[in-house]
Every structure is written in C-alpha cells, then in structure tokens.
Amino acid sequence: MFDHESVSSLAVSWAPDDLSEVDGSWNGEVEDAPRQSLRAERNRPADPGEEIARLQSRIRSLQATKLDTRLLPTHEAIAPLLPGGGLKQGAAYSIDRSATLVMTLLAGPSAAGTWCGVVGMPEFGVEAASRFGIDLDRLVLVPHPGDQWLAVTAAVADVLGVVVTRPPKRASDASVSRLAARLRQRGTTLIVLGTWPQSEAMLSLSASEWEGIGEGHGYLSARRATVTVTSRTTGRPRSARLWLPDPQEQVTRVENAPLRLREEAAG
C-alpha cells in the first residue's frame, strides 16, 4: 500500500532550515522566544514511539476512509436489513421478482450521483423510477439484450456504478466467476432479478396487501409488504414491514408512518 518514501512523508512534519522563510521581517539578528522554541522543537530528536504511534493513526484513518467508500447508500427503510447497512461495491445481490424493490434499492445510489443501468427489463417504467427518486439523467436502459445479456451486463458494469439485470437463463459457473471478478475490479454493484451464485444477500417480498379498492371499486393507492433480506455470510434473515409505497408514494416503515396509516394497517 505504501512505499518507503511515501510512508516517511506521512510521519515527518516539514520545517524550514532558515526561519526567515517563516517570517520575512526577521533579519536573523534577534531571535525571540517563540522562534527559539520552534528551533528547539525542530532540533529535538524524534521519539521513535511517537513517530510509530502517529504513523499507525494515519494508516488507520486511511484504511477507514477506504472501507467507508466500499458501501453505496440505499433507501433508509431497507438499509438496516442489508449486511453493513448499504450496497457493497463489487458485490452482487438477488431480488425475488420485484421491480418495486429494484427501484427502492436504486434510489439511494442514484440520488448520490451514481450512474445506474437496467438490462433486460423492458417493463421498467421511467415515470415510476422518477417517483422513487431515481435520476433519469444518470440512468441507462438496455431493454432487449437478447442472447448477449451476459456480455451486455458485463460491458455496462465496466462504466456504471450499479447495474440491474434479469437473466433469461442460467449462466455457467465460469461466466459467473468472470463477471464477479470484473465487478470487484470495477467496484460495480450488481442487482439480479432471480437467484444468483455468490450473492451477498437475497431480498424478497411477502404478505403483500394493497389499499384503495374499497367495496370492489376504487384505485390502488398504497401497499404494505414484508421485506426479508437473507445474508449469504450469516444465513439469518432480517425482516421489516414496509409501505411500498404509502398513499403519498413514499417508501417508509409501517412503524414510522403517520398514526392514521399505522391504525389502518393494524385494523
């Protein structure tokens, strides 16, 4: 990660050989107490223990920054269910037949400025995507990739931050491994509709209930559903009851919704 010269530059603070460089008004004839203190501090032998501690602290801060950038933000209603609380760059996620979940996951990265792509979903609606908060100016659609869906997905993953794909058929293990290596290299997040080997997590919907029909007539206005995320590493599912969406077309947790909506959900 570091070569010898760059490591040294992290630990050593620069001080000029001639203190006149610090203050051009000083002519070298009079040296006041602050300058004497600065010169003494500069000439004091460095304590190896302090230098090591300073370097370790600097390295830890650099590592923390790098790790933080490995996660993409996603919707706040779903983030607590995901391993790490976000979408991992270079990883794949599976979604069980839900375009609504796809749009919910894309909304966070898109709003943060990430370019997103959708491959093999001709029914993906841009109007609905816009209502979910997806930036259409940073959205690439490839509705009909045909038999070249895997090659198209890999090509799009080379240039975009998040890619959604729906495989028309099962990919070979070798093809999956090559795509996984490309995702890690590019730092691209893959969201697959359907099962996918090596997925970081599987997201699914259950117990879905629509609102608004009334006595056999009316308009669908809201939906409540249980979202379950099963992590590959732990195998333990996490679930939450969400509005997907609520009557204001917002995705929220049922327990965080206005009191009227919570009463309707309970009753």
Clarify whether residues 99 and 153 are in a common domain: yes
The predicted-structure confidence for 4-17, as pLDDT tens digits, reads as follows 443 333 333 333 34
SS3 label, residue 244: coil
Clarify whether residues 117 and 57 are in a common domain: no
Residue pair 221/247 in contact by the 8 Å Cβ criterion: yes
Clarify whether residues 47 and 161 are in a common domain: no
CA nearest neighbour of 227 among 209, 212, 242: 242
d(CA 236, CA 218): 39
- Could you tell me the strand order of the sheet in which 252-253 lies? 139-142, 116-119, 162-165, 189-193, 92-95, 201-211, 222-231, 237-243, 252-253
Of the pLDDT bands very low, low, confident and very high (cuts 50, 70, 90), residue 43 is: low
Tokens (6 digits) for 162: 């998040």
Which of residues 14, 43, 62 is at a domain's end?
A: 62
The whole-number average pLDDT for the span 70-88 is 89
Contacts of 90 (CB under 8 A, 6+ apart): 70, 183, 184, 185, 186, 187, 188, 189
Res. 48: pLDDT tops 80:
no
Supply the pLDDT for residue 236: 82
Supply the pLDDT for residue 36: 57
Supply the pLDDT for residue 249: 76
For the chain, percent of residues with pLDDT exceeding 70: 67
What single string gives the DSSP state of each residue in 16-66? -SSGGGT-TT--SS---HHHHHHHHHHHSPPPHHHHHHHHHHHHHHHHHHH
Residue 80 identity (one-letter amino acid) = P
- Cα angle, residue 69 at apex, residues 226 and 117 outer, rounded to 5°: 60
The predicted-structure confidence for 17-37, as pLDDT tens digits, reads as follows 443 333 444 344 444 555 555
Tokens (6 digits) for 105: 């996951």
- Say what angle helices 48-68 and 4-11 make with each other, to 10 degrees: 110
Residue pair 114/161 in contact by the 8 Å Cβ criterion: yes
Res. 38: pLDDT tops 80:
no
Supply the pLDDT for residue 55: 66
Clarify whether residues 31 and 145 are in a common domain: no
Domain extent for 140 = 71-266
Clarify whether residues 93 and 38 are in a common domain: no
Q: How many domains in the chain?
A: 2
The whole-number average pLDDT for the span 240-265 is 69
The whole-number average pLDDT for the span 248-252 is 80
Clarify whether residues 123 and 191 are in a common domain: yes
Of the pLDDT bands very low, low, confident and very high (cuts 50, 70, 90), residue 250 is: confident
Supply the pLDDT for residue 35: 55
pTM assigned to the model: 0.68
The predicted-structure confidence for 168-194, as pLDDT tens digits, reads as follows 988 899 999 999 999 999 999 999 999
More confident residue, 60 or 63: 60
Residue pair 72/114 in contact by the 8 Å Cβ criterion: yes
Which of 66-70, 75-79, 211-215 is least confident? 66-70
Clarify whether residues 209 and 254 are in a common domain: yes
Clarify whether residues 120 and 238 are in a common domain: yes
Residue 243 phi, psi dihedral angles, 5° rounding:
-85, 125
Supply the pLDDT for residue 265: 46
- Cα angle, residue 124 at apex, residues 123 and 125 outer, rounded to 5°: 100
Clarify whether residues 90 and 56 are in a common domain: no
d(CA 249, CA 265): 16
Supply the pLDDT for residue 66: 43
SS3 label, residue 247: coil
Which of residues 62, 90, 112 is at a domain's end?
A: 62
Of the pLDDT bands very low, low, confident and very high (cuts 50, 70, 90), residue 70 is: confident
- Mean confidence (pLDDT) of the chain: 77
The predicted-structure confidence for 212-230, as pLDDT tens digits, reads as follows 665 555 566 678 889 999 9
Clarify whether residues 190 and 249 are in a common domain: yes
CATH of residue 158: 3.40.50.300
The whole-number average pLDDT for the span 118-145 is 94
